[in-house]
Amino acid sequence: MAARTSMMLACLVLMVDSCPTSKPDPTDMSPAQTFHPYSCLDYLKRGVSKCDVYKLFDSNGNSFPAYCDFQSERGTAWTLVMSWSHAHRALAPFRSGSFNVNSPVNENAFNWKMYRLSLARVRSLQSHSTHWRATCSYPIHGVDFRDYVRGNFKDFNIVDFVGAGQCKKVEFINIRGHNGMHRTARFWQKTGSEGLHIDSASRGCQFAPSSGAVVSEDNFGHYGSFNPKFRCSKDDQSTTQWWFGGHL
């Protein structure tokens, strides 16, 4: 129930006027058998606009419930891939779970505090997405582009990336108020030992967020070192989300 309340809050924060509008249940559309959605974008293409949990299929043909955000960026549908609270930062699937390992958590029961899809579903969503993003405490703030990063798979394939401190292109990034558009940022990810993250104390790429950083500050994941001024790590209730998405 708490997750459902959080979801509704997120919708209200995001778009008070349009998000709660009910649309016909897409699963009732005729002929229902022909609708086989692989990502939230398939729902957006049908005119669905309410932030909620929808039924998706993975590449193996298995269905699963996934949270869809259609509201925060116009014409874009985002499917939630993982979300965890800062209190759970040391759990292996969140601290050390690189995207390329299978480390599912509650993969059939969406929630904001401990949730990660299986690798099969991550791969399936990746193949039906052009973009990725990370948000901080989305149930509280929605998306206001503070402490946020978005990129596209063509420039930076975050699922398969393995590296330490490599400069990778993003479309937009904000860390503690530092903004970057079409800049490179320093990313880390090690198979099975470091989840994808930026270290904002590090210099050397185009995006320069080191002013105000704590030593070795981890952003959007890993959280070996963290800064309460970054929304994902403000307190134990703070949450981090990763999403895959696409435009109409």
Of all residues in the shown chain, the one whose CB is closest to Ca ion is 216
Per the CB < 8 A criterion, the answer to whether 43 and 70 are in contact is yes
Pick the binder of Ca ion from 6, 218, 234, 241 (CB under 5 A): 218
Q: State how far the Cα of 42 lies from the Cα of 193, in Å rounded to an integer.
A: 34
Least separation, in Å, of the C-beta of 217 and Ca ion?
Answer: 6
Within 8 A by CB and 6+ apart from 104, the residues are: 93, 116, 117, 118, 119, 121
Interface with Ca ion, residue 194, by CB under 5 A: no
Give strand pairing partners of 189: 163
Nearer to Ca ion, 104 or 224 (CB): 224
Distance CA 40, CA 51 (A): 10
Is residue 27 close enough to count as binding Ca ion by CB under 5 A? no
Instruction: Pick between residue 5 and residue 216 the one whose CB is nearest to Ca ion.
Output: 216
Near Ca ion by CB under 5 A, which window of 43-51, 65-73, 96-104, 191-199? 191-199
- Compute the least distance from the CB of residue 198 to Ca ion, in Å: 9
Q: Token pair for residue 1?
A: 């129930």
Nearest-CA neighbor of 25 among 56, 51, 48? 48
The answer to whether the beta carbons of residues 21 and 47 sit under 8 Å apart is no
199 binds Ca ion (CB under 5 A): yes
- Binding span for Ca ion by CB under 5 A among 20-28, 46-54, 72-80, 199-207: 199-207
> Which of the stretches 7-15, 131-139, 208-216, 234-242 binds Ca ion when contact is defined by CB under 5 A?
208-216
Judged by CB, which is closer to Ca ion: 42, or 218?
218
Please identify, among the stretches 12-20, 116-124, 215-223, 229-237, the one whose residues bind Ca ion according to the rule CB under 5 A: 215-223
Residues contacting 120, CB < 8 A, separation 6+: 58, 59, 60, 102
Count interface residues toward Ca ion (CB under 5 A): 3
Cβ-based nearer residue to Ca ion, 68 or 175: 175
Q: How far apart are CA 62 and CA 56, in angstroms?
A: 8
Q: Which residues bind Ca ion (CB under 5 A)?
A: 199, 216, 218
